[in-house]
A and B are shown apart, each in its own frame.
Chain A
């Protein structure tokens, strides 16, 4: 539909009102430039506004998180019925093997505990600060953020690592009163020190914003990684405690690999916020007994 004729004619008042609205619009552009430059110079400068806004709309996010979880479980139930028979046989087989493995594992962890006692290393149990639902993300942006329904009031602080039951999700970037913004490990700014679970291969995993991570190895030379290798956090540099699963190697590159994250945030009900891991405090601690 063609818009109606909107020429103001000779009315002075109409001319002035058009002029004013153009002035306001150009002020808007300038405001945008100023805000943008400010957020480039110090990215956290508008955290207060974002946190206040997400705090205000938190109930909507919580409600949609519940919808997501129940929606997924309906699909799971249906596909579960279809695959029930063959899965049952498979699982029974696996259970036999797992029982044997479990006995072995118990013996090994027992031995491990004894050896650690000999070295007078204290086993620190890490208790999560808070557990919360993922209530939002940035689905249209090329940054990868998520929102959780726990904030300062629940003891969440900036920098704390966030994990799900299966693996590392990200770390806390901004905190509101009852919400927090998380930098996911898949964001381009996230850098996680990782190592291969078997063998002594260490490197860094940087996000690529598309659900994969680029792994760069610290030692140059022949690329020892193989497809299907499991990468866990190495704990170097603090922040992330060691041995939390991060990603599985999918493709090899010349000096590293492309890895797919294990803990897909889309398939996570609850995440745990853990305290910041500091390796030094563990060494400084008084040996037990």
Chain B
């Protein structure tokens, strides 16, 4: 498309066009669907004999919440955590509780401190994931498993390093969220 006047390329990307407009339904459900689908990671081809994967669905929740605040309502932690609990192997209710607390905590953080850089968001995500894994391990210990904190180090390291990838994923999904779809009339 040739540049005309003072318009920037891609400026009209999310605007309505003839027979094409962003759908409000898709714009709302993409974060929900993407987080719920990432809760299905336990059904991936990897059969792990040790906890090796980072908590993918929780990381996606944190990424959506940090980089697109206001999309997920503050109560979104409970239903999404419930879906995660069905597959994660953690004691049932651990996701509901921890995800709800995360959403409330991040809302409080946003009210207190708004202007953050990417690095600060990354640090916040690392702290949240570390706390999430640690408390999750306490829950499994209370449910009768062994106490073995160093078991979480590999997945924590992976989570720390891979979090920027999740922010990129959120950016891609965000474009998809606002894409124009066919409309009638």
Contacts and interface: CB of A to CB of B under 8 A. Distances in A.
Interface of A: 1-4, 6, 21-22, 24-29, 31-40, 43, 45-46, 49-50, 53-54, 57, 60-61, 64-65, 67-68, 71, 134-147, 184, 186-189, 206-211, 261, 264-266, 268
B91 interface: yes
Interface in B106-164: 107, 110, 114-116, 136-137, 139-140, 142-146, 148, 151-152, 155
Given A33-B93, A144-B50, A188-B146, 12 more contacts: A21-B74, A35-B93, A35-B97, A36-B91, A39-B93, A50-B92, A53-B87, A136-B43, A137-B42, A140-B155, A142-B51, A143-B89
B173 interface: no
A179 to B, nearest CB: 10
B26 interface: no
B97 A137 contact: no
A39 B114 contact: no
Contacts of A40: 91, 142-143
Nearest 6 pairs of A and B residues by beta carbon:
A32-B97, A35-B93, A138-B89, A28-B78, A188-B146, A188-B145
Interface residues of B, number: 64
Q: Chain B binding site: helix, strand, loop or mixed by DSSP?
A: helix
A208 B146 CA distance: 7
A37 B94 CA distance: 10
B74 A50 contact: no
B96 A28 contact: yes
B8 interface: no
Given A25-B103, A31-B96, A265 B140 contact: no
B100 A209 contact: no
Contact of B144 (A34, A49, A146, A188): A188
B41 interface: yes
A264 B89 contact: no
Nearest to B80: A28
Contact of A25 (B75, B116, B148): B75
Contact of A35 (B56, B69, B96): B96
